[in-house]
Structure 1
Amino acid sequence: MSCEQCGQGYVLAGEPEGTMVDGAYLHEGSNKSRAVVLLTDIFGLPLVNCKIMADRFSKELDCDVWVPDLFDGRPPMNADDMEPLMPDRAGQKIPFMNILRLIWLIVPRVHLLYASRASVVDARISTFVAKIKESRTYQKIGAVGYCFGGAAAIRIGSMDLVDSIVIAHPGSTSIAEIKAIKIPAAWECAEDDMSFKKSIRDQAEAVFDARKDKPDFVDYEFKDYPGTAHGFAARPNFALPEIVKGYNGAFAHCVEWFEKTLKV
């Protein structure tokens, strides 16, 4: 599922350097023993941010980074319609007119949201990962998801698809889905997030804490970024210093996490 704050944000500067391969974006690295799959927010491949970030991840991790099309060419939100309607920093109130404008954007897209429900998107991810496992020589694969893709990363954490996940300000999820995660998981958490509220974030960490010294323990890390709101790690407002710090911090933590958990 999506969330109110998923339809806001800013466009990253730069031009993609990778290529499209069978409908997915790919930036190649020289190390072919591992790969990362980037699960996009609700704007999908048309928003350049995911490609710019994939390029940077590929360079810093020196591996292939893929961005599959989660929406089969029909993302629920258009990059051209992206507006910062919701708070992009912690502690801001939502103007009433912004709420009305957001509703105006979402209502005509309800059918696209339904077409992108969890069961459909998860099947696409499963098919994609199975395909690159078969066609490439990767020994380990990680996945990083943002917003909509963050919720998907939580779900695939229980599916034996990938070896490690990073979850950044996820969309709608449940404690049951979080409890089902059975691979190493890193979390990039906003201070103010209507979708992944602090109460849920704290329950999620408690789930992993409770596994310590038990057979089902998996490595995990939770990182909090003061002053940030939902979307900071994927669609940051570079005019705000705390958001810049959060964006760069979350990116660096993701790189560190995959260096740690995708060793071959």
Structure 2
Amino acid sequence: MSCPKCQEGFELPGEPLGTIEKDFNNAYYSPAPSRETPSKEAILFFTDGFGLPLKNCKIMADNFAKRLNCDVWIPDYFDGKPLVPASNLRAPDHAGAKMSIMDWVKFVLATIPHIPAFIRSRPSVADMRVLALIDLLKEKKKYEKLGATGYCYGGSTSVRFSTTDYIDTAVISHPGPFSIDLVEKIRVPTSWACAEVDIFWSHDKRMKAEAILSARKAKDGGASMEYEFIDYKGTAHGFAARPNLKRPEIKQAHEEAFEQAVKWFQKTLLVHETSQ
């Protein structure tokens, strides 16, 4: 969350269907729509810096719940105060767009009032809020497996949780900053949706991450080292979460990245369901 690209995007059409659950630390809940028994698996949706006020994450969570027929939860890991207000949302552009000096000036001026939010929801603090929700879900919902999908700030969150035993699989879309050393510590299957141009997730970092996972899989093997990287031509940071649907190539990339996540969870999370 340190450049104008993080404030770019469009709202998705439609309205959320889920609910804010006070008993689960104000997380957004989109239940599996057609089940005879409670879901044994659930997905954690890690948002970008706009958090829950921007409806995109909730609409996408509803779509995941419908497509996968499992529960989806969005942690309020900004504790009601996102890094960037939804009113700051600006139109995105394609991969070839350049940021002008004025773009940077406007971004800095708009960001200064929100510096306390960055401090209040730094990764170490946000992660503790996620862990608190996970504890509640395990206690009250009895889920057997958890997957995670994250975008921008949430992409970095997915990377961090991929190094733990709290989740079983992860999708990482155009992540924000994180240490490449974390890739060495990943313990679960990961699927990566990568923009062509991304100030945070450069092509060089993307290639290094894939090389690390390839080397680890060759050495250790096993399902935990399963991974995939998919690149989306013509896209920039944020395309999977805040797309300009009027641009055909961005609309297609957004839809394909969503399908990428659906297929990944069908393969790595919903084993219990597909085996029945």
TM-score if structure 2 supplies the norm length?
0.92
List aligned pairs for 1:92-241, cutoff 5 A. Answer: 92-215=97-220, 218-241=225-248
Answering whether residue 47 of structure 2 is matched by residue 48 of structure 1, we say: no
Answering whether residue 74 of structure 2 is matched by residue 74 of structure 1, we say: no
Q: Aligned partners of 2:197 and 2:59: how far apart in 1? A: 25
Q: Comparing 127-136 with 141-150, which one deviates more in the overlay?
A: 127-136
Q: Which runs of 4+ in 1 moved over 4 A?
A: none
* 1:36-81 superposed Cα distances (whole Å, 9 cap, x missing partner): 0100000000000000000000000000011110100111100012
Look up the equivalent residue of 1:220 and give its one-letter code. Answer: Y
Tell me, yes or no, if the aligned pair for 2:6 and 2:49 is still in contact at 8 Å. yes
Q: Secondary structure at the match of 1:210?
A: helix
Q: Aligned partners of 2:176 and 2:217: how far apart in 1? A: 27
Shift of 1:126: 1.2
Look up the equivalent residue of 1:260 and give its one-letter code. Answer: K
What is the RMSD of the two structures over their aligned residues, measured on CA atoms? 1.2
Look up the match of 1:21.
21
Shift of 1:95: 2.3
Look up the equivalent residue of 1:3 and give its one-letter code. Answer: S
Identity %, equivalent residues: 44
* 1:116-174 superposed Cα distances (whole Å, 9 cap, x missing partner): 11110111111111210111132211000000000011001112111000000000011
Higher helix share: 2
Shift of 1:3: 3.3
Q: Comparing 87-96 with 26-35, which one deviates more in the overlay?
A: 87-96
Q: Aligned partners of 1:21 and 1:216: how far apart in 2? A: 40
Look up the match of 2:2.
3
Structure 2: state its 5+ residue gaps.
none
Tell me, yes or no, if the aligned pair for 1:38 and 1:68 is still in contact at 8 Å. yes
User: RCO (CA 8 Å, sep 6+): is it higher in 1 or 2?
Assistant: 1
Q: Aligned partners of 2:217 and 2:149: how far apart in 1? A: 24
Tell me, yes or no, if the aligned pair for 1:187 and 1:221 is still in contact at 8 Å. yes
Q: Aligned partners of 2:244 and 2:104: how far apart in 1? A: 20
Shift of 1:107: 1.5
Q: Comparing 87-96 with 98-107, which one deviates more in the overlay?
A: 87-96
TM-score if structure 1 supplies the norm length?
0.96
* 1:215-246 superposed Cα distances (whole Å, 9 cap, x missing partner): 36510000100000000000000111111111
Look up the match of 1:35.
42
* 1:160-203 superposed Cα distances (whole Å, 9 cap, x missing partner): 11100000000001111122111000000000000101110110
Tell me, yes or no, if the aligned pair for 1:3 and 1:171 is still in contact at 8 Å. no
Tell me, yes or no, if the aligned pair for 1:88 and 1:231 is still in contact at 8 Å. no
